[in-house]
Every structure is written in C-alpha cells, then in structure tokens.
Structure 1
C-alpha cells in the first residue's frame, strides 16, 4: 500500500444532500497518476484508477444478450458503466438513475473531466431519482438492468438501500426485463443471501469474483448475474 508521503490529495467538490455528504477528491499517486475519487459520508465508493469491475458490470451483460437495445443503469458513479454500455453500437437507449443530483452536475459541468462528452451522447438519459422508486414506476421494459447503487448488501453506505438486494425489488427488476434480459448487481463483498434471493426470483444466478487493486491493496469485488 502506498505511504502517505507518496500520495497527495485535495478536495475538488463537496455537496450536502438529505442523505449526507458527497465529496470528490483528486489525488496524485507516487507514480504520477492523477486520480479522481468519490466518497459518500466518508466512505470510499470508487475512483478513476480502478474501474475494471464497473466496466465488467456492463460487459458481462452485453456479452450474453444478443440485442441489448435498451439498458437501465442504477447508479451513475463516475460514468464507467455507462461508458461501456454506450461503446456497444447495439445499444439504442441507456437510462441512468442517480439519486445524488450534485454528482450528475459534476459530470455535466466538467468537474469530472470525461463527464460532458459522455453525457452528450443522445442515447443517454439521466434521471435524478431513487432507483427503487424508478423501477417501481417504470413503464418501459429493458434488455439489461445493471445495479451499482451502493457497496453491496454487506457494506451499505445508506441503510435504506438494503431493499435493493431483497426479494420484492428483485421481482420488480424481473418484471421490467424482457424475455432473455439480464440483471447484474455489483457488490464490494461476496453476498450469499443476495445470490440465494436472485436464484429464488429468477430460477438462476451466477457469482463472478473480480480481483482488483485499490491503492496497491488487493480486493475482490463480486458481480451477480441472473437471466429472465
């Protein structure tokens, strides 16, 4: 792990919402890499250095659906799942539901440098809402539903997000998926209860572990995939 002396960090943007504090920091590592880091209520959420699992969240689903024309993404983050979705020419529409309006604004105004170009894609629509409410009220159907709304059921930033990993919400995700559609859920840790719930709701579920490095510290993130 890098020493304190080898990393310089400064705050780029901060906002207070009804759910707490959202902070964007920029750090320069000892190797000279310039990294943006997102924290919510003091908890590390993601950065621009290790993005492989956010990308795989989309890639795994895109690989198993022949015609993923319509995609719903729960959680904008720093945009890497959306970026991977839009890189696929088969995608005609990508709806991203993000509850934190400041994060959307930072992506739009260039506080996150790659944000404006990404959100300028006419296939992308950003909805500032809670994912549970958005899915409950959805009138469209989707080929993919990709969820990265918290750190997973075992390491929640917001306790209210617990419902996203439970049977009623998973049932609703199944309802908005077209036949052959796929749900993928990102988790910072193995979540056997989530795996069991997805198997009960969909009749199938797959667990995929992804090894990552966070500031030279090995971690394992997990994707859970079910198909309607």
Structure 2
C-alpha cells in the first residue's frame, strides 16, 4: 500500500479543523509540508519564495540597526526565519492566534522550526494579531522597526471577516501606532496588486509599493505570482 500523505497533527480550532501533513512531491521527490484549515489549503513548503520575500523586502526598506520585528502569522515559519537571517534584527516577536501552530514549531515538526525556536531573539506569542493592532501600545515600547503580516489570503479575501477593518485606512492608522518612527509595514497577498488597497496605504503611509514576486510552480509547470506590499510610517 502506498501512503501518499502522513498526517503529523490534527487539532480542532475555533476557525475549523487544522491539519499538518507531510508528503513527497512526485515531480521532484522533495518532502513537502502542508497545512489545511478544514478543506482549505493554507500553506505549503513547496511555495515559500513570497513568504521569504515578505521579510526580505520589508526589512530592506528599514533604515538603521538594532531592529525589532513583529510578524503576524507564524505558519510554516519561513517569514520569521528569513527575518532572523538579517543580522540587524535584535528581537523578533511572532504572533499567531492558533496555539497548535506554535506547538508544531516548539516540537520542531517543521523544516525551519529548530532554527526559529533555538534562536534567543525569537519570542512566539499566542494572541490575535488583529486585536493587538486595534489596541493602543502599552508601556514605554517605542514601536517596531517593521511589522510583517501574512495571515489572510489577501486584503479582499480574509480567513476571518473580523480582520477586514485592518485593510482600511482607519485600521492601518491603528497599526501605524505600533511602528517606530519611519518603521515599515509589509504585507503578503495571494492576489495581484490591488489598486483600491494601494489607495488605503497611500492615505496612511509614505513610499507605498506593491512588489510582484514570481516563482516557479512545479504543480502547474509554469510561473505563479504573489504580491508583497511595503510602506513606510510617516511619523
């Protein structure tokens, strides 16, 4: 009997059943890790270029050294690990709503888990990123050098409809309160550049840009694209 998929973990969550599975990609023999929420595919280690570019493009826009970075959405960990590879980063906080996802990395079930959790700069936090952004910063925190967000499919296609307010100007202004002066906000999207969302970014931030990230797709045999938005705080 040929087993195409190995289920590494399954947990019920408030958003649906969350499944982590491992398989071998027939076209390359590569070991692939996939996450499903209910019947919907959330992410795959077969496609990590844009997640890595979220960190690379976002941090490339940040000036200075001794950076503090907030990542919204842990997932398979590629955005967070790419951020840690920037030698200027002195602190990385990763917020995920699902304790299960944090547990996968703490158990080192995923390819980059060890690199992520064994780095003393990493802090994994179970919380609602969107609720945190709506709240006022507490204490004497001077703001993050960069906020990197990869949770929803795109500004128009959210996993949870309660997230939608962040992608409008008022929600972006609330997020901006958590950035350091001239800090950078970067967002991954599965959709092509969205003119309406660019308008919302331009209303709040400076230097807003939509970067198209192309990558080879072994499933289709062609090239696929994601979008990474990058914008700078005016404060």
Task: Tell me, in whole angstroms, the C-alpha distance in 2 between the residues paired with 1:120 and 1:134.
Answer: 26
Deviation at 1:160, TM superposition (A): 2.0
Deviation at 1:102, TM superposition (A): 0.3
Superposition TM-score, scaled by structure 2 size: 0.88
Q: Is structure 2 residue 20 aligned with structure 1 residue 24?
A: yes
Superposition TM-score, scaled by structure 1 size: 0.90
Alignment root-mean-square deviation, CA: 1.9
1:111-144 Cα shifts (integer Å, max 9, x gaps):
2243134112111111111111222243330110
C-alpha change, 1:214 and 1:24, in structure 2 (3 Å) is farther
Deviation at 1:215, TM superposition (A): 4.2
The structure with the largest helix share of the pair is 1
Q: Secondary structure at the match of 2:177?
A: helix
Task: Tell me, in whole angstroms, the C-alpha distance in 2 between the residues paired with 1:103 and 1:18.
Answer: 13
Q: Give 4+ residue runs of structure 1 displaced > 3 Å after superposition.
A: none
Which runs of structure 2 are paired with 1:40-79 in the superposition (5 Å)?
40-67=37-64, 69-79=67-77
Task: Tell me, in whole angstroms, the C-alpha distance in 2 between the residues paired with 1:225 and 1:114.
Answer: 25
Task: Tell me, in whole angstroms, the C-alpha distance in 1 between the residues paired with 2:164 and 2:216.
Answer: 26
Which runs of structure 2 are paired with 1:1-228 in the superposition (5 Å)?
8-30=4-26, 31-67=28-64, 69-135=67-133, 136-139=135-138, 140=141, 141-190=143-192, 191-217=194-220, 218-228=223-233
Structure 1 stretch 12-21 or stretch 155-164: which is displaced more?
155-164
1:4 corresponds in structure 2 to none
Deviation at 1:177, TM superposition (A): 1.3
Q: Secondary structure at the match of 1:27?
A: strand
Q: Secondary structure at the match of 2:53?
A: helix
Which structure 1 segments of 5+ residues have no match? 1-6
Task: Tell me, in whole angstroms, the C-alpha distance in 1 between the residues paired with 2:212 and 2:77.
Answer: 21
Count of residue pairs brought into register by the alignment: 223
Structure 1 stretch 174-183 or stretch 99-108: which is displaced more?
174-183
Deviation at 1:169, TM superposition (A): 2.0
Q: Secondary structure at the match of 2:82?
A: helix
